[in-house]
Amino acid sequence: MALLFILPFITLLVVFAVIPILSTFYMSVMDFNSLRPLNELKYIGLQNYLDVFNDSDTMASFGRSLVFALIEVPLMIGIALGLALLMNGNFHAKGALRTTILIPYVCNITAVTIAWQSLLDPSSGPVNAVLSSLGLEDPPRWLGDPTLALPLAALVYVYMNASYQAIVFLAALQDVPAELHESAKLDGASRQQVFWRITFPYISPATFFLVVTSILGSFQTYNLIATLTHGGPGGTTEVAAYRVVQLAFTFGQFSVATAQSVILFIGLMIITVLQFRGQKKWVNY
């Protein structure tokens, strides 16, 4: 009976997760870099992986994903924790604030990116209009600037997802025993001491979970880049996940794209394993 109840989940997991993963590994060692009948596929071993490592654009996309993660993860965790601490306080219209903070997370990604494109438009956007009115003669091109485009994409990603992490942090904060805070204050502990000695150890499991999922999510970012910058300007926002889709569906190099996906998967798995080993030093369960 137990197996019968979990059979629908297992079936969907196999069809939509296990089979695609196995087929990705299979395609990465086959010559499926042009449209042809499946019975004409040839085994070529690690050649697709060598092509990935020999392609400077593909390797650069891994570097951009790393930069994206280094900007996004600390900023996301910091802002989300700040919002959670704010929402955990007692003040008027707290429910309205929580609803407002959640709006970016539940909005359609296309609508959000169009709004940001309009705000940051170098010629007619309100941001540059304000800067020009303040006397700045040459306002930034924002998403059209090769230097600023990737950090701005990371900021938009944080804007869209920080509210979810804030809710997770808020749930963790509400589990911290209030009597511990009261005892610490009676003993003369400062706010900083209360946070680092009492609050943070209690929310460290939630922090660890959010750090892991943030890193995984940042390296898999595709929709945001595809709608906000389309990999531009000049490929400066072409991160690894976007490069995979470009290789497969623009250049028809399906096996090379799956090889890059496997490399990305292995890299993320190694990072996650290292995080799980390191969490013993600072996470308290």
Distance, CA of 154 to chain centre = 9
CATH, domain 56-281, list 1.10.3720.10, 3.20.20.70, 3.40.50.2000, 1.10.357.10: 1.10.3720.10
Higher-pLDDT residue of 193, 70 = 70
| Residue 43: φ, ψ to 5° | -80, 125
Q: How confident is the model at residue 160 (pLDDT cuts 50, 70, 90)?
A: very high
The pLDDT of residue 183: 87
User: Mean pLDDT over all residues of the chain?
Assistant: 90
135: phi > 0 → left, psi -120 to 50 → alpha, else beta; which?
left
Using CA atoms, how far residue 7 sits from 11, 12, 15, 18, in Å, is 6, 9, 12, 15
- Confidence at residue 269, expressed as pLDDT on a 0 to 100 scale: 94
Percent of the chain with pLDDT over 70: 99
Tell me, what's the pLDDT at 246? Answer: 93
> pLDDT tens digits, residue range 7-17?
999 999 999 99
Determine the distance from the C-alpha atom of residue 27 to the mean position of all C-alpha atoms in its chain, rounded to a whole number.
Answer: 26
Q: What pLDDT was estimated at residue 56?
A: 92
CB 24 within 8 A of CB 258: yes
Tokens of 242: 């976007």
Q: Are 104 and 152 in contact (CB under 8 A)?
A: no
Q: In this predicted model, what pLDDT tens digit does every residue of 178-231 receive, in sequence order? A: 888 888 888 888 888 888 888 999 999 999 999 999 999 999 999 999 999 999
Structure token pair of residue 207:
């922090």
